Amino acid sequence: MIVAAGRVLVVLLGLLAVLAVAGPARAHVGGGAAGSDFDGALRSVSPDLPGVTVRVLEFGDQLEVVNRTGTELEVPGYSGEPYLRIGPDGVWRNELSPATWLNLDRYGRTPVPDDVDVDAAPRWEQVSTQPMYAWHDHRTHWMTEGLLPPVVAADPSRAHTVSEWTVPMTYGGTDVVVAGELTWSPPPPAWLVWPVYVLLLAATVLAGWWARGPRPLAVAVAAGAAAALVHAVTTPAPAASVSSHLGAVVSALLPALLVLLVAAVGVRAALHDRGVLTGLVAVVVGWLLLVQGLPDVDVLWTAHALAAGPQLLARAAVAVLVAVGLGLVVGGVGAARRFRDVVRQEAADSRG
């Protein structure tokens, strides 16, 4: 049985390697943070533009415009100079607008070339053939890294409105105003959430090292598989210019389905009291859960989480992925060792 379990482990580790090469499916599609104490919200687009969608992405870090109409929408730079044209022939960006360079980075740290001039005739460059674009508009988010807004620093125990912002646009010669706000909320109290994370970790480790049989460890394996599935289906819609929401969910489902398949092997082994195999599978499942959960670990100590659905559910899924994932790695090793010794002792007793 030990030899057979070892062969299964080799196969499962091969699948893990494939997943590692493919990269983790992260809830924060596009490379931003999965959690933040800041949050940006769109309040109005005036006048209303049927066929034009404006969204605030990643807690206010980006502004996205999708214009599927036959009329071009123009976005000026910070000095009122031509910056973007979004319309039926794609997206055109003015290389001589300082906004072109400042908006490439979340904190505006990209150097502005010396020939950039807000008074010069625009030098248009096509950056997309699709009528959609997302950029770091610095009016929609807090710009000072590592420093809280004054109103927050004065009283970090309660929520605050950091700013109310507007971004001007022009649609077919008509002035448009996009308005929103940036808020800040205190993160969940450490004394409330961290004991839960520690309890999940400890319970999973103990299931592997101290339980009489392999079934408690299999329960943790099944819980981890359920969390992987929840994590996948709560993947938020990414920027339309990056990929489709369906594509993002499908890419997140692939590692979750792999976890389900491997977990099924572990649960089946536990039901047949194959403790060594259950422990080995638990180690593999634990690594797979960590691959998915660690990129989103910041949701565990921030006020907001990127999620398509209830934020509490998304946060709970990541908590299980990380805490139970680590517990399965440690507990699985313990279970494999304990039940291996039991098998050896039973074999020795039968020979004696």
CA-based nearest residue to 66, from 76, 58, 75: 75
pLDDT tens column, 58-92: 999 999 999 999 999 999 999 999 999 999 999 99
> Which DSSP helix (H) or strand (E) runs through 322?
none
Judge whether residue 243 has pLDDT over 70.
no
- In whole angstroms, what separates CA 299 from the centre of its chain? 9
**pLDDT at residue 349 in the model:** 53
DSSP 263-281: HHHHHHHHHTT-HHHHHHH
Model confidence at 240: pLDDT above 90 = no
* Amino acid at site 293: G
With cut-offs at 50, 70 and 90, classify the pLDDT of residue 251: confident
95 phi/psi in degrees, rounded to 5: -65, -20
pLDDT at 236: 83
Q: Where are the domains of the chain?
A: 2-32+188-351, 38-184
Higher pLDDT, 66 or 243: 66
Mean pLDDT over 129-142 rounds to: 96
**Segment 294-312 mean pLDDT:** 93
List of residues 6+ apart from 71 with CB closer than 8 A: 87, 171, 172
pLDDT at position 309, please?
86
Query: How far apart, in Å, are the Cα atoms of 247 and each of 9, 32, 250, 251, 260?
Result: 31, 18, 5, 6, 20
| 20-60 pLDDT tens trace | 444 444 444 444 689 999 999 999 999 999 999 999 999 99
pLDDT average, residue stretch 147-162: 97
250 — pLDDT class (breaks 50, 70, 90): confident
Distance CA 59, CA 26 (A): 16
- Cβ burial, residue 228 (10 Å; 0-12/13-18/19+): buried
Q: Residue 163 pairs with which residues in a beta bridge?
A: 182
| Mean pLDDT estimate for the chain | 89
pLDDT of residue 27: 41
Q: What is the pTM of this model?
A: 0.84
